[in-house]
């Protein structure tokens, strides 16, 4: 693994001051991203996955927000710390070196401007080219992401496009300045499966064809299995497990990961009598349990759990497969098997 | 057609249509066209049965569910509920029927009134139908039944998470002891781990109360888990209807096959081994649907006949219906034994698929 690093996020910490107290949305999160790889950040709503990536672009800056840690964008012109950077510096990076695709293609385009103008505006903001040239490039981009008759459609308004087509326009816009890092926040959640497959194909082309690094934020493990190289599982503001795709899917270490893997409805296996669910709900970000955050929902809780488990390599000290669970790897291997060939989390309270 | 039991089905839908007119004109509204949202659909739903209804957005699945409930007026066709024709019943005649069919909506954040307490929300249907004896007691009982605490009755919806709100929606639907619940994408707004909780709850309730479900969803893996039979819709028509497991092991219509192929498998190794068919293009415009088989412009197996003749719903073994001139996964014997189903649209041709 000697690929060129693009991003190094080190102990990123984000909290918001609210009337209800301090909400600690992201709790000392570290990860990195290299060229040509897809890092999937997986977690449920409220796990802090979107806040983490939006902070990289300065999109969470607000008077009530408090930040900690650092996030370096590695680039030839000198590294930039995205957490501490001035707004003016971020503005040059945003859309140019780091681009983002948002979840909802219905609300992330401006409804009163033609889609072509929105792409052209983005190109002109970052590069010193003539408008006619920018327009030609916009047509080329739309064509590449699979918008039919791009030359005619460039004058259309967003409402004249379907959801899938709008998401393509978003991708075209994200690609317009040839970014090194693409952040895709639930890029296909609002789309039908057939359209989802088409969009994922485009993201894969970007990774392979242009050697960009992609951060994929999602809760859909099917999409992850399809696209990701590495995974970081977030729960309640923290990364609870991180490793390669195969490590996390076939040798998951954290009980929350077992629960996630167990609760997906699978088409490729015989259907079970009942779906294994994780009991309870995630804790409120304003008042978290002491120690392991997953403790109240975990059937395997024991006396060590009120102590904070660090994110460490526990299976093999040299590998990058890290997790936050005090159980020994052998115990984990035994406990995660709900049936001999199915990983999951048994119901809390049930005796194994 | 039916699941094979002798009793009369709870819901019978025959050649049902719902068109949304497109109006134009300054002074006089002229109808200049129709959106063919539901176009000649026939099916039955038995007592205590779950029928899954799947398809891409805009295929008419929600419109079909709402037309069955008479929330939308049918353009043509009949709906029978418990044997009675309700397709043109008056609002007054519908009142007792309404009690027996309830709806659970997709978005648990938009379908509960934020200014009402949970007790009022769940109690509302009881009061509306004049069952105001012990509303408080019944509400507490319902809350417990769906896995919430009785004291939650005095709280407001914003105090609950998405999964809990969906439980409140289910409790409201249960209040009048219905026989049929229409579930319109009931779990698609929820996180995976919570989805499993709600699906298990719906499963338990069906066992306890003998409810029939019409489960509308776009997520085929969730639908497989809950359904006895599954109907696949494309552009206003049912193109395949089969027992749940059979639909996945033996899809006959190429569209079903493509839908199944588009679902990512949450298993990296199997995913790498699999060959993907990515269906290009998008569903055509339902204002002016393609001639013949509506799927033919996107279908990899389409031939000249597909553009010309609408395929009838053909009945294969196990009550497996599919509308296709070039069926997949059928042997020559099965093809020879196939018959034209009476559920076929009236506009469909008579010719059954031939062995190639």
Question: Between these two residues, A168 and A277, which has the higher pLDDT value?
Answer: A168
pTM score: 0.84
- What is the rounded CA–CA span in Å between residue A107 and residue A191? 14
pLDDT band at A2 (very low <50, low <70, confident <90, very high): low
* Spatial separation of the C-alpha atoms in residues A178 and A167, rounded to whole Å: 17
Question: Chain A contact for B334, CB < 8 A?
Answer: no
How confident is the prediction along chain B (356 residues), in pLDDT tens digits per residue?
444 445 679 999 999 999 998 888 777 778 888 899 999 999 999 999 999 999 888 889 989 999 999 999 999 999 999 999 999 999 999 999 999 999 998 888 889 999 999 999 999 999 999 888 889 999 999 999 999 999 899 999 988 888 899 999 999 999 999 999 999 989 887 877 788 889 999 999 999 999 999 999 888 888 988 999 999 999 999 999 999 999 999 999 999 999 888 888 888 888 888 777 677 777 788 888 999 999 999 998 999 999 999 999 999 999 999 999 999 999 999 999 999 999 999 999 888 888 76
Residue A129 structure tokens: 């080219």
Contact, B196 vs A275, CB < 8 A?
Answer: yes
Best to test chain A binding among B62, B106, B266 (most A CBs inside 10 Å): B266
A-chain CB neighbours of B274 within 8 Å are none
| pLDDT of res. A348 | 67
Q: Which of A183-197, A216-230, B46-60 has the lowest mean pLDDT?
A: A183-197
- Contact with chain A for residue B272, Cβ under 8 A: no
* Structure-token pair, residue B84: 């009675």
State the ipTM, two decimals: 0.77
Res. A295: pLDDT tops 50 = yes
Residues 6 or more apart whose Cβ sits within 8 Å of residue B50: B206, B212, B213, B214, B215, B226, B227, B228, B229
Which residues between 52 and 91 in chain B have a beta carbon less than 8 angstroms from any beta carbon of chain A? 56-57
Per DSSP, helices labelled H in chain B are 61-68, 91-100, 118-128, 135-145, 162-174, 192-209, 220-226, 244-249, 254-262, 268-273, 304-308, 332-337
Sign of CA dihedral A10, A249, A189, A144: positive
CB A196 within 8 A of CB A162: no
Mean pLDDT confidence for A109-119 = 93
E-state strands within chain A: 5-18, 21-34, 38-42, 65-73, 80-81, 98-101, 181-185, 213-218, 230-235, 238-244, 312-313, 322-323, 337-339, 342-343
Q: Identify the closest residue of chain A to B147 by CA–CA distance.
A: A280
pLDDT of residue B275: 73
3-state secondary structure of A214: strand
Cβ(B276)–Cβ(B283) under 8 Å? no
What is the three-class DSSP state of A200? Answer: helix
Band the pLDDT of A349: cuts 50, 70, 90.
low
pLDDT level of residue A270 (50, 70, 90 thresholds): confident
Report chain A residues touching chain B, CB-CB < 8 A. 44-45, 162-165, 192-198, 200-201, 219-226, 245-246, 249-250, 259-261, 263-268, 271, 274-279, 281
Q: A-chain residues within 8 Å CB-CB of B57?
A: 163, 192
Enter the tokens of residue B278: 């990515």
Contact partners, residue A99, CB within 8 Å, separation at least 6 = A173, A174, A175, A177, A179, A181, A182, A183
Contact B53, B75 (CB under 8 A): no
Closest CB to B196 among A198, A220, A277: A277
- CA A2, CA B252: separation in Å to the nearest integer? 48
- What are the pLDDT digits (tens) for A308-327? 999 999 998 888 999 999 99
Measured between CA atoms, the residue of chain A closest to residue B223 is A265
- pLDDT, position A116: 93
pLDDT of the residue at A338: 83
Q: How far is B351 from chain A (nearest CA, A)?
A: 30
CA angle B87, B218, B160 (to 5 degrees): 95
Q: What is the mean pLDDT of residues A112-132?
A: 92
pLDDT computed for residue A70 by the predictor: 94
């Amino acid at each position: 693994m000697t690929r060129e690093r693009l991003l190094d996020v080190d102990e990123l910490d984000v909290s918001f001051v609210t009337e209800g107290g301090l909400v600690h949305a992201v709790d000392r999160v570290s990860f990195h991203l290299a060229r040509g790889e897809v890092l999937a950040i997986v977690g449920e709503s409220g796990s802090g996955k979107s806040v983490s990536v939006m902070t990289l672009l300065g999109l969470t800056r607000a008077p009530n927000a408090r930040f900690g840690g650092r996030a370096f964008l590695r680039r030839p012109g000198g590294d930039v710390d995205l957490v501490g950077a001035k707004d003016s510096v971020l503005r040059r990076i945003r859309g140019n070196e780091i681009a983002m695709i948002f979840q909802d293609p219905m609300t992330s385009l401006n409804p009163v401007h033609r889609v072509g103008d929105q792409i052209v505006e983005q190109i002109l903001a970052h590069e010193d080219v003539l408008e006619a040239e920018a327009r030609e490039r916009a047509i080329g981009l739309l064509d590449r992401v699979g918008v039919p008759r791009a030359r005619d459609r460039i004058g259309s308004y967003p409402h004249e496009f379907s959801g899938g087509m709008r998401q393509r326009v978003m991708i075209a816009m994200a690609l317009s300045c040839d970014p090194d890092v693409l952040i895709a926040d639930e890029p296909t959640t609002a789309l039908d499966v057939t359209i989802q497959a088409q969009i994922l194909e485009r993201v894969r082309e970007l990774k392979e064809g242009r050697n960009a690094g992609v951060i994929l934020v999602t809760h859909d493990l099917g999409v992850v299995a399809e696209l990701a190289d590495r995974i970081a599982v977030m729960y309640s503001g923290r990364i609870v497990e991180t490793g390669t795709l195969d490590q996390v899917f076939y040798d998951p270490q954290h009980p929350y990961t077992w629960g996630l893997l167990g609760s997906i409805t699978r088409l490729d296996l015989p259907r079970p009598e009942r779906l294994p669910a994780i009991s309870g709900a995630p804790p409120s970000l304003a008042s978290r349990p002491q120690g392991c955050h997953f403790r109240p929902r975990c059937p395997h809780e024991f006396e060590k759990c009120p102590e904070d488990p660090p994110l460490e390599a526990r299976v093999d000290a040299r590998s990058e497969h890290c997790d936050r669970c005090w159980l020994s790897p052998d115990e984990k291997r035994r406990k995660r098997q709900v049936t001999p060939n199915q990983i999951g989390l048994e119901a809390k309270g049930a005796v194994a | 057609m039916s699941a094979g039991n002798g009793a009369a089905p709870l819901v019978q839908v025959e050649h049902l249509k719902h068109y949304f007119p497109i109006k134009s004109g300054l002074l006089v509204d002229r109808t200049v066209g129709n959106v063919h949202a539901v176009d000649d659909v026939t099916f039955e739903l038995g007592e205590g049965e779950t029928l899954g209804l799947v398809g891409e957005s805009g295929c008419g699945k929600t419109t079909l569910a709402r037309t069955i409930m008479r929330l939308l007026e049918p353009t043509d066709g009949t709906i029978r509920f418990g044997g009675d024709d309700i397709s043109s019943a008056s609002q007054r005649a519908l009142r007792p029927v309404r009690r027996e069919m309830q709806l659970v909506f997709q978005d648990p954040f938009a379908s509960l009134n934020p200014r009402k307490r949970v007790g009022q929300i769940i109690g509302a249907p009881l009061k509306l139908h004049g069952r105001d004896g012990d509303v408080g007691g019944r509400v507490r009982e319902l809350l417990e039944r769906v896995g919430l605490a009785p004291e939650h009755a005095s709280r407001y919806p914003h105090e609950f998470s998405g999964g809990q709100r969906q439980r409140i929606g289910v409790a409201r639907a249960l209040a009048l002891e219905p026989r049929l619940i229409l579930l319109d994408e009931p779990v698609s707004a929820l996180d995976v781990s919570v989805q499993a909780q709600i699906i298990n709850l719906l499963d338990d309730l069906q066992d306890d109360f003998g409810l029939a479900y019409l489960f509308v969803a776009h997520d085929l893996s969730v639908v497989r888990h809950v359904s006895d039979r599954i109907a696949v819709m494309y552009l206003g028509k049912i193109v395949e209807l089969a027992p749940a497991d059979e639909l996945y092991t033996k899809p006959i219509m190429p569209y079903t096959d493509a839908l199944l192929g588009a679902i990512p498998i949450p298993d990296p190794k199997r995913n790498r081994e699999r060959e993907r068919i990515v269906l290009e293009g998008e569903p055509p415009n339902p204002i002016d649907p393609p001639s013949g088989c509506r799927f033919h412009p996107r279908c990899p197996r389409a031939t000249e006949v597909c553009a010309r003749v609408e395929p009838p719903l053909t009945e294969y073994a196990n009550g497996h219906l599919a509308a296709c001139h070039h069926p997949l996964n059928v042997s020559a014997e099965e093809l020879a034994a196939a018959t034209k189903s009476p559920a076929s649209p009236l506009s469909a041709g008579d010719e059954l698929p031939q062995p190639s």
